[in-house]
Structure 1
Amino acid sequence: MANLMDTVDQRTNLVGENRLELLLFHLLGRQLFALNVFKVKEVVKLPYLNKLPNSHPHIDGVATIRGESIPVINLKAAIGLQPLVPDEQSNLIITEYNRSVQGFLVGPVDHIVNMTWGEIMEPPTTVGRGHYLTAITKLKRNDTEELVEIIDVEKVLAEILVYKVDISDGVLDESIISEFVGRKILHADDSPTARNQVASTLEQLGVEIIPAKNGLEALNILKGWADQGKKIEDEILMLITDAEMPAMDGYKLTSEIRNDPRMSDLFVVLNTSLSGDFNKAMVKKVGCNEFLSKFQPDLLVELVQQRLKAKLSE
């Protein structure tokens, strides 16, 4: 199973072309679930787990993989279903999110599918507000159409790990805090949890956050202002965008912005849970101004303050 991930590094040419690859797996019967391949380090058969006293109830234990201790999350339990009972078909998907490595206990792993972000859809409103899906898609196979549910890992981890949104003492520059009043920031992210984290941090500065659920929605907001003859940089201080989103990813969004002279000077920050080294290279390729991995409230505030200072000195 580990060989399934051997070619992940060769697939990076998909990013920036509004494409992605999904690792498909099972948790419950025939229903397919998915994670983005770029967040997957490897897939292995479930190893022996050491129990972790007083851990979160969704953490089944700790696996030792090549000398590294990795907490193992029972993904089925974490998304509100009955816990998965390990058996001979169980696998461990090892991922890296927000600068941390964790394993997800799953059932059989199916295969990797190559798709465009245009084929990725928002979950229907009928699933309610308590769901753990960031998106859905449909896969045609054997003359049938199967629904694939893409897990909102941001939400899963936020309910297990502690992500602070408070700003540490000494980070706020009191000399410019009054200048934030009336300032707006456009934030594009398909995860409601990620949008709430950013908003909860920056609203402490008095900044108004304009949310967008994907890159296309953010681009349409920007184009709407431009079509009205408004100067984009007068409307918002910056754009903060996730990398992977339905309809249009953050790389494609940035490329579209740079190719439109009406908004080409907009300050763009790529804020993502994907690999830091990879995204730093993509920032340079597509023309983002800065890269910030999730979720670091102090660094986010420092970055926003630096941008405001630069704006005030213009």
Structure 2
Amino acid sequence: MASILDSVNQRTQMVGQNRLELLLFRLAGRQRFGINVFKVREVLPCPKLTAMPHRNRLVRGIAHIRGQAISIIDLSMATGGPELTDISNRFIIIAEYNRTVQGFLVGGVDRIININWEEIMPPPKGTGRDAYLTAVTEIEKELVEIIDVERILADITPVNTDISEEVANQPINVSKENLTILITDDSAVARGQIKRSLESLDIPLEVKKNGKEALDWLKEKAEEVGGKVNSHVPVIVSDVEMPVMDGYTLTAEIKADPNLAGVHVILHTSLSGVFNQAMVKKVGADDFIAKFHPDELATAVKKWLNAEVDVNIE
């Protein structure tokens, strides 16, 4: 697994092609799960864990890796399954989500696959784990489940969604009448966090679950207004990882459509890494914010709302 994060430049070429690479792994049984390789730092045999007092029951202990103390979350327990036993023969996936590094204890690691986001679908209802799933796909005639890691992290460490008084008092210099802010994210937890952070702007919020839904809604809006939509939908806050159509492809589609190109796109994602700015530039996004800091998000939205004033003056 030492080569998981090499060839970053090669992976960057997938941007705008609606593709991703998934690291497949197992928990307590035969069921396979997936995690985006872009979020993975490395995969290691589980080292000795140090127990910490008063820790969350899902955290099996602390691992000291490359000079850093990392919490190790039992991913089987976190999704409602049994505790993983014999952890000395298990693996940990070191990943970076929402500006922090976590270790996920898993039963075994399979391999990396390259797949199109169109092949990744929302989870079916009644799967038992659907509360913890963000998507599913089929690999070799078997269902692969993609876990809503943001849901798990929110269960362990709830996120503050309140914006500060200072940010709340920053002016919005554009008329709010007939405006809508579009939000798209496949994680129910993330959608709720974003909504709670932006509700103080007193602008209606339209929420979609993936890039395809968001793009279809924008095109319908363009037909409704008879042309360019940015004076009605000046800003979209979009996740990057979404089934059917990812945020990069959504951005590229928006910027390629004359009626939609004026919409300011903020990519708001748990993906981290130095390559993200190159990706953002490639697809033409206006902003990139790592999840989740409500002040940064609200400030960025206000910035691009106020940008509409300058555009209209010109």
- Considering the TM-score relative to the shorter chain, is it more than 0.5? yes
Gap runs ≥5 in structure 2: none
Secondary structure of 1:235 counterpart: coil
Aligned length: 309
RMSD: 1.9
Identity of aligned residues (%): 48
Partner residue of 2:6? Answer: 7
| Amino acid across the alignment from 1:73 | I
Structure 2 residue identity aligned to 1:190: D
Taking structure 1 as the reference length, the TM-score comes to 0.93
**1:155-212 residue CA offsets vs partner (Å, 9 max, x unmatched):** 1111111310011121122644995465311111111111110001101221221111
What residue identity is the alignment partner of 1:217?
A: E
Say whether 1:118 aligns with 2:80: no
The Cα of 1:86 is off from its aligned counterpart by 3.3
Select the residue among 169, 187, 191 that pairs with 1:195.
191
- Maintained 8 Å contact 1:4/1:43: no
Q: CA 1:155/1:88 → structure 2, altered by over 3 Å: closer, same or farther?
A: same
**Structure 2 residue aligned with 1:171:** 167
Question: In 2 relative to 1, CA 48–97 (structure 1 residues): closer, same or farther, beyond 3 Å?
Answer: same
Distance 1:238 1:6 in 2: 33
The 3-state SS of whatever aligns with 1:14 is: coil
- C-alpha contact 2:179 2:231 (8 A) present in aligned 1: no
- The alpha-carbon distance between structure 1 residues 276 and 187, as it changes in their structure 2 partners (threshold 3 A), is farther
Report the Cα distance in structure 2 between the residues aligned to 1:18 and 1:75, rounded to whole angstroms.
27
Matched residue, 2:105: 105
Aligned to 1:295: 292
Could you say which residue in structure 2 is the equivalent of 1:157?
153
TM-score, length of structure 2 as denominator length: 0.93
For the Cα contact (< 8 Å) 2:95–2:102, is it kept in 1?
A: yes
Q: Distance in 2 between matches of 1:23 and 1:299?
A: 30
Residue 305 of structure 1 pairs with residue 302 of structure 2: yes
SS class of match (2:244): coil
For 1:128 and 1:181, how far apart are their aligned partners in 2? Answer: 43
For 1:154, what is the secondary structure of its paired residue? helix
| 2:264 matched residue in structure 1 | 267
Deviates more, 1:48-57 or 1:276-285: 276-285
Please say which of residues 152-161 and 180-189 is displaced more in the overlay: 180-189
Matches within 5 A, 1:1-314: 1=1, 3-7=2-6, 9=8, 10-127=10-127, 131-140=131-140, 145-173=141-169, 175-176=171-172, 179-180=175-176, 183-228=179-224, 229-313=226-310, 314=312
Residue 125 of structure 1: SS of its match in structure 2?
A: coil
Q: CA deviation at 1:230?
A: 4.6
Following the alignment from structure 1 to structure 2, what is the Cα–Cα distance between the partners of residues 235 and 197?
Answer: 23
Matched to 2:190, the amino acid is: A
Alpha carbons 1:180, 1:205 under 8 Å: kept: no
Aligned counterparts of 1:50 and 1:11: Cα–Cα separation in 2 = 35
Deviation at 1:310, TM superposition (A): 2.3
Describe the SS at the equivalent of 1:268.
Answer: strand
User: Are residues 146 and 130 of structure 1, via their aligned partners in 2, closer, same or farther at CA, if it must alter by over 3 Å?
Assistant: closer
